[in-house]
Homo-oligomer: A and B are copies of this chain.
Amino acid sequence: MSGTTAGKISSEEELIRTYLAPLARANEGAFGLRDDCAVYEPRPGSDLILTTDAIAAGVHFFADDRPEDIAWKALAVNVSDLAGKAAAPRVYQMALSFPEAPTHAFMERFASGLAEAQEAFGIVLSGGDCDRRPGPMTVTITAIGEVPAGLRLTRDGGQPGDAIFVTGTLGDAAFGLQLRRGDEAARAWPLSTHERAGLVARYLRPLPRLGLAPLLRRHATAAMDLSDGLAKDLGRLTRAASAGAMIVRGSLPLSEGVRRLVAADETLFDAVLSGGDDYEILFTAPPGSEPDVAAFAQAQGLMTTQIGTLVAGAGLMLTTADGERPLAAMGWDHF
């Protein structure tokens, strides 16, 4: 059956040559994936940003997700880290492991999802590793991006008084996950078919906020992407800055569907605060920079929203119509 789309791939070499090498074609330093190392030429005047994230079937994605979506997500979650550092994506290394040899049909679709994501993010495959081993299918990517030499956009640069911003809308992916899972409760949610599909897409196909880089480079004092939920990730940012944060509940940017869900059932609001997989960017900027941030975002057609302020002290407070309450550091832990 080898060579047909239904058959299984017969060797590591076939998998690399047929499905992965085309993804590295635009990268001279990848040597067509025929070598065991790649060469990367840094652009003069640049520092590199390195990040590594793995996704596994049954943990970070569903085993029956579309292969295109698995591939997209594996690359997107890494590129999102680069976006959070205002880095321009360049190349990635990918380690694939399968419990059994994948079919040609699977790999064709997986590779097409990667090709699409590469094109969208401006990144290209440089090398990697393929193995068969027990356990879930896993995609481990190390992505490399570039920033102007000396740019250090870390978590810890925020100062009390800085405005706290997020891109896009929060919680969509958390609700999308429940819809994708087919949760009983989710089936009753007052959402249109279109809204349901939109939320699921936010979960399956995160879109790294690469367009924000010029703004971050110019204004941000600290930045990171949101992958483990606002409460948890904001907790990390504030602890790194030895500061606290005051968040205004009414300012949290919600998509129309999520706004309706939360209005109908207040308990669902927790998913906005602690749901993972947002892949938006959380950043801080000095007081007074708000108009510049707003003007840049508008000019670029990007959505950014001030959700609160860094304050002296520690801990996260949420201001609601009923007053203030502490925001527990909920969210995803990998252990």
Contact = CB atoms under 8 A, between A and B. Distances in A.
Interface of A: 9-13, 15, 29, 31, 34-42, 44, 46-54, 56, 58-59, 81-82, 84-85, 87, 91, 93-95, 97, 99, 101, 126-136, 138, 140, 142, 144, 147, 149, 152, 154-156, 224-225, 227, 240, 333-335
Contact of A133 (B42, B52, B58, B87): B58
Given A50-B126, A140-B54, A335-B11, A135 B132 contact: no
7 closest A-B pairs by CB? A135-B135, A142-B142, A42-B42, A40-B48, A52-B93, A12-B334, A38-B50
A9 B147 CA distance: 35
Contacts of A133: 56, 58-59, 135-136, 138
A5 to B, nearest CB: 17
Contacts of A51: 36-38, 93, 127
Contacts of A13: 333
A34 B152 CA distance: 14
A13 B84 CA distance: 20
Task: Report whether over half of chain A's contact residues are helix, strand or loop; otherwise say mixed.
Answer: mixed
Contacts of A85: 37
A36 B170 CA distance: 20
A335 B10 contact: yes
Contacts of A128: 52
Given A36-B225, A85-B37, A240-B34, A52 B129 contact: yes
Contacts of A154: 31, 35
A171 B121 CA distance: 45
Contacts of A48: 39-42, 48
A18 to B, nearest CB: 13
